[in-house]
Structure 1
Amino acid sequence: MKSPFLALRNAIILYSIGFTVSAILFIVHYSSREHIHTLRHMSYVYSGKCDDPYPLSYTMSLYKPLDEYKRVQFIFYKKTKMAIAVDICQRNGWTLRKTIHTREELKSQLQRKNVFSIVFTSSKELSNPYINKLLNRTNVLVSALPNAYLFSGAKREQHITFQRYLKRYDCSIHELKFMPVSFLMDFAQECKAFFKYMRLNRDLSEWVLKKSQGYGGDGVTIMSNKTAIKRMFNSCPSHGQYIMQEYIRDIILLNGRKFDIRALFIIANSRPYMLFYHEGYLRVVMKQFYESGGREVHLTNTHVQSQEPNFDPNDHFWSFKKLQSYLDVHYPENDEYVLSHLIPYIKKVAKFIVKSGIGLMNGDDIINGFQLLGLDFMISNDWHIWFIEANNYPLWPKGGWITQFSTKMGEDLFDLAISIRQRPEEFLRMHIYKMYKSWQLIWREDPPNCEEDYNPCNSLQQSN
């Protein structure tokens, strides 16, 4: 007589075999009709055609409408409060918390029941696993993505990220000339290459010395004395993290004054990555330009210019529309330059920057993060557009007309970042170049096996 335990074991084995066979047959049958791709936590049921891969499900937990929470609170974690963000907070009736500096304080605030938290912090803070886990919840919106500073923060890391990405396509920053020629002085090979380049290009009399970590013009020096440069870097590599960047000469001036262009972008989501563009503004120097002038003549940063006695925000900040009006009068041959040439190229650079950093951001770690980017550009006399650097915590300027601009931009930014998590399919079906309020979708990450044929060595070329 068979043992009842032996009979039970045999029954379980037979059942398991039958279930496994059935599952395999089901998968084979299902796969014959359609392919299933998973883009991180985004589930696609995909017909096999790459032109319209609409998702049927979104596996991250969705945000509830904000009015279902007892309170919405705005928290600055290890970041200085920004006036415009505070204004937006007050206009929406959100609770403003003091700047929090410790993990314990942050944890205490995030554990409040029925409270939605908007946390302003930096991408570097998210590299801490504890902070990362603490913020990774569906009642929190975080103003950063992990490691975004590697392509939009520290100047040294930006340079390394861009060079490595371009090397995959067999070109370089120097060859493309979309950025000024730059050298990392703490790398022996690049430090030596700088002095060789300086010897071969004796007509280049001025260089821009930048600290890798700098904000608002801090650590930026215009150097024209070659002897002083050699004395500062008497051996290679340098002891500190410095960048020597070629000074852009023969630039377009506005009423005899130097300016740069700040364009705004947001990586609004990381599953998949979605990049939106927002019109930016110009920062115009208060004094007339002359080559032997000091920092206040050469540096367009608002922090530097605001120290001038005659500082006027309405004269310092120009809109893109005002730039085009100026060009229409002084350079009538460049009709529609801003819309037809400047903005399209700015978008190409932004797309390149984000694509270069996708492998570094670890977007899976933060389901509720967004990243605001400020990209700076200049225009030379031959109408060549130069990308200067990216900023992952750009100033929201205030004063005069720019206050209303920043407030509208910020309100629409928060609306976009929250809505994309409340109604994900609406945004995943959104066509490229479609607007969401004042933000325009310019790029969305493709599903697996459907990546676009992209080559930055071609995309970043300029015809001028």
Structure 2
Amino acid sequence: GPYFYIGGSNGAGLVSIYCQSRGWQRIYDNRREDYALKWCEIKCRETYYHFKEGDQLLYQIPNNGVLTSKIGLLCCLREQEQVMKKISRSTNSNFFWMHSSRGYKVYGGLFLSYLLEKSLIFQRFSTCISFSHRFLKMEEFFPESFRLDLKDERNAFFELHKEEQIWICKPSCSNQGRGICLLKNAAAVNTLQAELRGTEEYLHSKRVPYKAPRARIVQRYIHQPLLLEGKKFDVRSYLLIACTAPYVLFFGQGYVRLTCVDYDAASDDLTVHLTNQHMQKKNSLYSQLKDETVWRMENFNSYVNEKFRKNNGLPKDWVFTVFTV
């Protein structure tokens, strides 16, 4: 030992290389309980019955589908906004102090909807302190979204859609860009609507017990995104919650991911619209431009200092002092 077990393939190569470099030995029996690290995908569900806190690491959070699926995240954000609106109307405060036997604890944002039953929120607040921070509305940071597995929401989307709009359709539980498509015109939307209707009619004709259409969401596409050197990009950062009592957090600034080619809203090539590496590998230019599709945060910081700092009145090293703090 120490021993480590890997279930599934997501990140398996990186984990295995690191553990072996530390002298750890890989085991292949999922039933063994003497592991130091167990790395499992959601589909390889694990229990905590024999988990030894403080001695073992288990990469899986119970009920993690709540935040790791697109529909789960959407529902959490909607619930959070509803709760915060109720509290905001009552107190005009975004952060709250709660009395407990250990003193006062501060809660805010997403934690609130999980830690408190909505019916008890107003009963259990003993002290509320207003802050000047404005509550960020969901519409300000999250594109308009509809669930296609719910009849009312998908009907609302089909009624709302207009010819000149672009929408993006995504499976709820998938990765690497699989199953994503752009809805750029009425024909594409009509095809999607017919597909969903056909599935429902087939299940009904076969007298199959009711089953909702495949879980997908549609979101209003941001067709004029912020670009980096003319290309779409995103930032992948890492946050590890190592302990919750007390809170111990580790943050990794991560890196920037860019597309191979310049952005063109009219393009039907998904490698123009999706920034993940699995999708970029499908572009014919990837082998030539691979190193340019990933930037270290130091490079991104230098770029912002040079291109935007003076004209936009940004502080020096804005990426490290504001953006990733």
Give the match for residue 238 of structure 2.
264
Give the match for residue 122 of structure 2.
none
Change (3 A) 1:307 1:175: closer
Give the match for residue 305 of structure 1.
280
Note if 1:133 corresponds to 2:49.
Answer: yes
Structure-1 separation of matches of 2:249 and 2:43: 20
Structure-2 separation of matches of 1:225 and 1:174: 29
Structure-2 separation of matches of 1:212 and 1:265: 22
Give the match for residue 68 of structure 1.
none
Please report the TM-score for the alignment, with normalisation by the length of structure 2: 0.70
Give the match for residue 445 of structure 1.
none
Give the match for residue 40 of structure 2.
121
Give the match for residue 263 of structure 2.
289
Note if 1:150 corresponds to 2:38.
Answer: no
SS of the residue corresponding to residue 132 of structure 1 reads coil
Give the match for residue 190 of structure 2.
230
Structure-1 separation of matches of 2:23 and 2:295: 31
Which of 6, 14, 25 matches 1:95? 25
Change (3 A) 1:299 1:175: closer
Count of aligned positions: 256
Which of 190, 201, 206 matches 2:166? 206
Over the aligned positions, Cα root-mean-square deviation in angstroms equals 2.7
Which of 301, 317, 326 matches 2:294? 317
**Alignment deviations for residues 360-396 of structure 1 (CA, whole Å, 9 cap, x no partner):** xxxxxxxxxxxxxxxxxxxxxxxxxxxxxxxxxxxxx
SS of the residue corresponding to residue 277 of structure 1 reads strand
Contact 2:71 2:147 in 1 (8 A): yes
Change (3 A) 1:262 1:80: closer
Contact 2:10 2:41 in 1 (8 A): no
Contact 1:267 1:274 in 2 (8 A): yes
Change (3 A) 1:282 1:145: same
Contact 1:118 1:141 in 2 (8 A): yes
The gaps in structure 1 that reach 5 residues or longer are 1-70, 345-464
> Which residue identity lines up with residue 310 of structure 1 in the other structure?
L
Identity rate, percent: 23
Structure-2 separation of matches of 1:217 and 1:76: 24
Structure-1 separation of matches of 2:30 and 2:141: 41
Contact 2:259 2:293 in 1 (8 A): yes
Change (3 A) 1:272 1:229: farther
How far did 1:273 drift? Answer: 4.5
Change (3 A) 1:253 1:80: closer
The gaps in structure 2 that reach 5 residues or longer are 87-134, 201-211
Change (3 A) 1:135 1:160: same
**Alignment deviations for residues 29-71 of structure 1 (CA, whole Å, 9 cap, x no partner):** xxxxxxxxxxxxxxxxxxxxxxxxxxxxxxxxxxxxxxxxxx2
How far did 1:207 drift? Answer: 0.9
**Alignment deviations for residues 105-142 of structure 1 (CA, whole Å, 9 cap, x no partner):** 322x325xxxx52110135645x6xx321335554211
Structure-2 separation of matches of 1:155 and 1:189: 18
Please report the TM-score for the alignment, with normalisation by the length of structure 1: 0.50
Which structure has the bigger radius of gyration? 1
Structure-1 separation of matches of 2:76 and 2:257: 27
**Alignment deviations for residues 276-331 of structure 1 (CA, whole Å, 9 cap, x no partner):** 32101111101122122211111101101123343244211112222232233332
Choose between structure 1 and 2 for higher RCO, CA contacts under 8 A separated by at least 6 residues.
1
For residues 337-416 of structure 1, what are the structure 2 equivalents within 5 Å? Answer: 337-344=318-325
Give the match for residue 2 of structure 2.
72
Which of 171, 179, 188 matches 2:142? 179
Structure-1 separation of matches of 2:53 and 2:299: 43
